Chain A
Amino acid sequence: MEQTIKSGVYKLLEKVGDQVNFFLSFVRHLLRKGFEWNEFLRQCFIIGYKSFPLIAVTGFILGFVLTLQSLPTLKDFGAASYVPGMVSVSVVREIGPVIIALISAGKIASSIGAELGSMKVTEQISAMEVSSADPIQYLVVTRILACTFMIPLLTLMADAISLFGGFVGSNLDNKVSLHLYFNKAFNALAFSDLFPGVIKTVFFGFAIGFIGCYHGYHSNRGTESVGHAANSAVVSASLWIIILDGIAVQLTNIFAYN
């Protein structure tokens, strides 16, 4: 029993050490000359543009369902006019960033994990290393930065689509003009709602890129490890998003609302 606990702790510490080492390696290569702009833009296209349909549908459903679920209750209290404000505050402040980050973790972290894992298994990463090219700079730095840059943009777009989903949901019950709906939605929002929501998505994006790259880059030899890398990337990234959100909410409460 004692031995099992010891070995468990040892493995955990080893993993933490590995991740810290990988992070330091990322920082070192980020500061090096010769940033891979083309690969960075290609990754932005893959992560941003190719994820957009999924994010758009998710955002729309989010606003739509939130409206349909809350409208009957608020109507009972004669507060149906508060629905746009309620949807906008909850989507922009919390639900949008977290749900979009979790969806992105499923799509992007798994795809990065599988891609790098497969490159590792087929010795493509080793081939880069032995040719004196820099796989961290080419593969890791570009992907992490593309995630860090694109996830906030995707979240902002999803937030906007979500509000539109709320508008469609409201119109199923009662006719509301687009202008009036968005007027009410934006009136309820303050800078202190938008800013923390956007800032935390930067960290979510970094976590998704970093964890996807870490698991892919450290996958073992063998095809099974590619699946394992993709799976671990999604699980770890999702967990980190929840943890980071908890921290972000506490910090927001301290700095923005007090």
Chain B
Amino acid sequence: MQDELTIETKQATEAKTDDNNIVIKVEHLQKSFEDNKVLKDINLTLCKGENLVVLGRSGQGKSVTIQCIVGLLDYDEGSLKVFGKEIKELLEDELKEIRLKLGFLFQSGALYDSMTVRENLSFPLTRVLKMKDDSKINQEVEDVLDAVGLKDAIDKMPGDLSGGMRKRIGLARTLILKPAIMLYDEPTTGLDPITSKEISQLIMDLRKKYQTSSIIITHDLACAKITGDRILVLHEGKFIAEGSYKDLEKSQDERVNSFFK
């Protein structure tokens, strides 16, 4: 697995050098909530096929960054381009089109709790892709559930699922629209170490299967180590370090080093 990771990291680094491969480009992004400036100067690029981990303590603005990327929050200053389009300048329908290419896994899974797993997964197919053929919808739902290893949970209610299962189903619901970019908001938070490892491994497997580029927000080092081609360390609204897990492990910066102790 380590060899595979090394190859993937190399591919991602090579891809980074080519500007045409950039799918997300963020420059000097700033965001405040009243007097609290959460994002001070965010700069990042995500390349095609890359897994970028944003590592940081709670309250540093990690989730705010990806919520700005997906257009859930407006940013105050700076530029944020997804597939070359400035998010702030998009009209409602244009933003919807961009969002179709973005998958977002929420911290809690955010499953619709009045619907079964099947209904949760078929919801985006019927509402967004306007699919009407029930057999086709069922096939898609079963395929994606198979990919996350939860085919048996198809008729369960979200309330009957464990935290790890909810995240897997949330992931399946996102993947069913076949996004080009996945944004993971703390995918392993609140899970035991074994389930966390399984989710991290699943992120890698799904990247291979669905050919996605990903931004993974986390403060879980094990997750960062497994999933990250490149890691950015966020501290007080700015990135203070960038590199592979191995590079950052050797960092002399106390703020970075404190993660790896």
Whole-angstrom CA separation of A248 from B61 in the bound complex: 51
- B96 beta carbon closer than 8 Å to chain A: yes
Q: Are B106 and A138 in contact (CB under 8 A)?
A: no
> Could you give, for residues 121-151 of chain A, a 1 whenever the CB lies within 8 Å of some chain B CB and a 0 otherwise?
0111011111111100010000000000000
Residues in B whose Cβ lies below 8 Å from that of A130: 70-72, 99, 102, 104
Residues in A whose Cβ lies below 8 Å from that of B111: 124, 127
Known pairs A124-B110, A124-B112; A133 contacts B72 (CB<8 A): no
- B124 beta carbon closer than 8 Å to chain A: yes
Residue of A nearest to B100 (CB): A132
> For residues 66 through 87 of chain A, which have their beta carbon under 8 Å from a beta carbon of chain B?
none
Q: Are A134 and B72 in contact (CB under 8 A)?
A: no
Number of interface residues of B (CB under 8 A): 25
Q: Are A122 and B70 in contact (CB under 8 A)?
A: no
> Could you give, for residues 149-181 of chain A, a 1 whenever the CB lies within 8 Å of some chain B CB and a 0 otherwise?
000000000000000000000000000000000
Residues in B whose Cβ lies below 8 Å from that of A127: 104, 106, 110-112, 170, 173
> Could you give, for residues 41-52 of chain A, a 1 whenever the CB lies within 8 Å of some chain B CB and a 0 otherwise?
000000000000
Residue of A nearest to B104 (CB): A130
Q: Are B174 and A123 in contact (CB under 8 A)?
A: no
Known pairs A130-B70, A131-B177, A133-B128; A123 contacts B123 (CB<8 A): no
Q: Are A133 and B124 in contact (CB under 8 A)?
A: yes
Residue of A nearest to B170 (CB): A127
Q: Are A122 and B127 in contact (CB under 8 A)?
A: no
Kindly list 19 other residue pairs between chains A and B, CB separation below 8 angstroms, not including A131-B173, A132-B177. Answer: A34-B130, A123-B106, A124-B112, A124-B113, A126-B106, A127-B104, A128-B112, A129-B72, A129-B99, A130-B71, A130-B72, A130-B99, A131-B99, A131-B128, A131-B177, A132-B97, A133-B123, A133-B128, A134-B127
The chain A residues found within 8 Å of chain B, CB to CB, are: 34, 119, 122-124, 126-134, 138
The chain B residues found within 8 Å of chain A, CB to CB, are: 70-72, 96-97, 99-100, 102, 104, 106-108, 110-113, 123-124, 127-128, 130, 170, 173-174, 177
